[in-house]
A and B are shown apart, each in its own frame.
Chain A
Amino acid sequence: MDEPNESSRVIEHAARTSYGRLVAFLARRTRDIAAAEDALADAFAAALRTWPTSGVPERPEAWLLAAAGNRLLDQQRRADTARRHGPDLASATAPREPDPMESAATSLLGMPDERLHMLFACAHPAIDAAMHTPLMLQAVLGLEANKIAAAFIVSPTAMAQRLVRAKGKIRDAGISFDLPPREQLGERLDAVLDAIYAAFGSGWDDVAGADAASRGLADEAVFLGRMLVDLMPDQPEPLGLLALMLYCQARRAARAAGTGFTPLDQQDASRWSRPLLAEAESLLRRASEQRQFGRFQIEAAIQSAHVDGALRGQTDWPAIVRLYDGLLAIAPTLGAAVGRAAAIAEAQGPSAGLSALDAIDAHASLHADMATYQPAWALRAHLLAMLGASDAAARAYERAIGLCEDDSVRRFLLGRLAAVQSTS
């Protein structure tokens, strides 16, 4: 008989490494993510009950898959839908001969890795875009609704309800788990990339060096990014996204070090993680060899230029402005526009930076968002202070402080406010 600890350790390991593959495999055959998750939860519960006495099976994941598959079959028979899905499921979960066609995609588990199908289903255009990331986090990583809710500052009940609704939509609308056809691949892949990046943080706001990793589920996002690169090794944008996230992760330690928030240009570059930076550089190089540029590769290239400049003690700001121009042409976002204004200020001086900020503000469609966009106020304050307009700078710092969500950034801005007030 096994030690109970041994079996619970195996169960925990299976939950961590195989959860997403098991859900994907089951859900692809039923299109019912919630039922697959429930069946798998029952299978894990059964494992916790029986393995300590009967021993851990030789292939734990296969055992879990069979148990969950049987559970789904039972449910379907009861719901009298066995006619539709039954044969499909029965053959899917029964032991079978290895198929040479599938062997390349077949893993140690003996079942194909269908998490890519799941990622595309979760980010399907028929699903509310705001739910793409939460669905992925739950269906692929098994994250609880309340943890997801906390990361997106939504109430746990609301998040749980929306997840149920989104899964219901996938089931009832018959959203396909097939990989998108070639002509739709680019657009559908963009949705997957956006969803993974949304998990990483609320957006990359590098105006004052603020880090996207401060609020999001950064580790989970990097995990999904690595998974996507493994599943689609020939696509450049997944490489670009993973590179971008790793550049940010590499600087995390330097940000957290010392007494709170440190802007990029004052960070101690020797504290940045060299292995992560090297990995990001090599991913970005691999991506650029495909000669097919995209939003995430450009954002990663901007990070690369910042890092390179900081390490050499001289940043090529005009090059960064050009990268932002390219980024805005592909993906015009407020964050990119404000980032460009910051780069222009560095390249051409604070007045040019302010003009660039005013130009964004003049767009009617952006004006309302600019009014509550903290990095824009922080940048404006910084540039006004450089120009000696202390009163205007102080008012802009106050607005930035009032819109701030991070205590260390808030303390940093309060310090800057005190500094400009003492000079006026």
Chain B
Amino acid sequence: MRYAVLVYENEADFKERSDPKTMGPYMAAYGAYSAALHEAGVGVGGAGLQPPSTATTLRVRDGRRHVQDGPFADTKERIGGFFLIDVPSLDVALEWAAKCPAASRCGVEVRPELPPPPK
């Protein structure tokens, strides 16, 4: 079963990962985590995302585009990336989620993939 491990980060985390002085170890931890997922054969995808300040929100209403600078919702915790993993159960997914560096900082959210629609 596939699960997304959504990486949540707060303002301090985003600052740390973009500051040249601190970004090295920060990104190295994620690189190592990603490598561990793939070595174990459970990592199937994922991506890191640029900070929320780079986000553009778009809504189409009555055929008109409403474009807005910034992320969708104004919250302290923002998605900074995600990992897609393929594991037998939620328990195993949580085992791996606990190893994600964000888990011991801001937090991670684990969500199962929507099953394909019945044919």
Contact = CB atoms under 8 A, between A and B. Distances in A.
A285 interface: no
B44 interface: no
Contact of A410 (B29, B31, B95): B29
Contact of B33 (A155, A402, A415, A417): A402
- Pick the most buried of B31, B36, B37, B94: most chain A CB atoms within 10 A of its CB: B36
Interface in A388-424: 398-407, 410-411, 414-415, 417-418
A371 B94 contact: no
Interface in A372-401: 372, 398-401
A415 B29 CA distance: 11
Interface size class of A (residues with CB under 8 A): 20 to 34
Contact of A398 (B32, B97, B104): B32
Nearest to B33: A402
A142 B39 CA distance: 40
Question: Of residues A155, A405, A411, A417, which shows the largest number of chain B Cβ atoms within 10 Å of its Cβ?
Answer: A405
Nearest to B101: A410
A256 interface: no
B104 A158 contact: no
Interface string B11-36: 00000000000001100110111111
Contacts of B29: 401, 404, 410, 414
Contacts of A257: none
A417 B39 contact: no
Given A407-B104, A414-B28, A414-B29, A402 B91 contact: no
Interface in A276-322: none
B114 interface: no
B103 interface: yes
A417 B98 CA distance: 21
Given A406-B104, A418-B25, A154 B94 contact: yes
Which of A371, A403, A406, A415 gathers most chain B CB within 10 Å?
A: A403
